[in-house]
Every structure is written in C-alpha cells, then in structure tokens.
Amino acid sequence: MTTPKISRPKFPAGYVENPTKTVAWEAVEQRLSEAKNYWLCSVYPDGRPHVIPRWAVYVDGKIYYDGSPETRHARNIAQNPQAALHLESGDQALIIEGTAGEAGKPSPELANKIAAAYRAKYTQFGYSPEPDQWNEGGLFVFTPRKVLTWTSFMDDPTRFTLGK
C-alpha cells in the first residue's frame, strides 16, 4: 500500500485555530488492527443512512468483514458501494470514507491472513473462522479513500487521502 497523503481538515472559523500536531499513519493502522467494533454506514436505495456495528479485521490496507449477502447493509452496498466506517470513540475519532462490496473468494494467502486476524481478535467471543469459510461468498471488503482522525480535537486533527 502506498503512503497516504496527509493534510489538515478544513474547519469553520472558531473551531480549531492552531493545531500543533498530526496523527501518524502508523497509529491509524494500529487502531484499525486492534479495534473490536467497526460502525459501517451504507445508504438505503431511497437515500436514508443505515448504520450497523460489524466485527472486522484490517489486512493489507483494507477492512474485511463477513456476513450474509441478504443483510440490509449488503443489499445497500450492492446498489451503492459508497460507504463510511468509524470506530467507537468520539474523543479519539477515526472516520473513514470509502467503498464497500463483496470481496469474492479470497486467494489462499489472503484467506489465511483474514482468518488468522479474526481468530486473534474474536476467538474469545466465540468466533474463529477457518480460511475456507468464504469460499462460497459472505466476505466483504471496505476500501478506504479518506480518513479523518484525531486524538485531541484541538491539537491534532488530521486527514489522510489514499489512492489517486
């Protein structure tokens, strides 16, 4: 994965006047790797937002989650892949814009990485998938495009742009 472009978010007058730091991309990746719950926002066909918590793993610069293609969020992203995802903290925010969709059958190498990451995080909660679990589908991928994050809103609001 290429290093994301870093910049400051634009704020209205009176919000954040003189931020002094930025959040390191490595810290973003660490939080994405360690998080238990990820909130996925998709869009109903009529334009209303739909938000749901998901268990997921961060592997090779993307966020993978699984579930039935019949769920509301899966049907939403099948019609409109634009999505947002965020972690649980509002004080140390991590908000991501990107696209989501069915991942298809992963390569054996990727399936092993995803399954190992899931087992490391979720076995204690009763979920430990095998690498072949997604051979027939049910694996989704969220590809980040823009990240807005801070650990202290007044000091280090940071925007990362990925891809193009």
Q: List the domain range (segments joined by +) for residue 64.
A: 5-161
pLDDT score for 81? 98
Global pTM? 0.93
Q: Could you read off the pLDDT of 76-124 as tens digits, one per residue?
A: 999 999 999 999 988 889 999 999 999 999 999 999 999 999 999 999 9
Rg, Å, the chain Cα set: 17
Number of domains in the chain: 1
* Closest-CA residue to 95 (of 158, 48, 50): 158
Place of tokens 């937002």: 49
The arithmetic mean of pLDDT across residues 134-144, rounded, is: 96
CATH of the domain at 59: 2.30.110.10
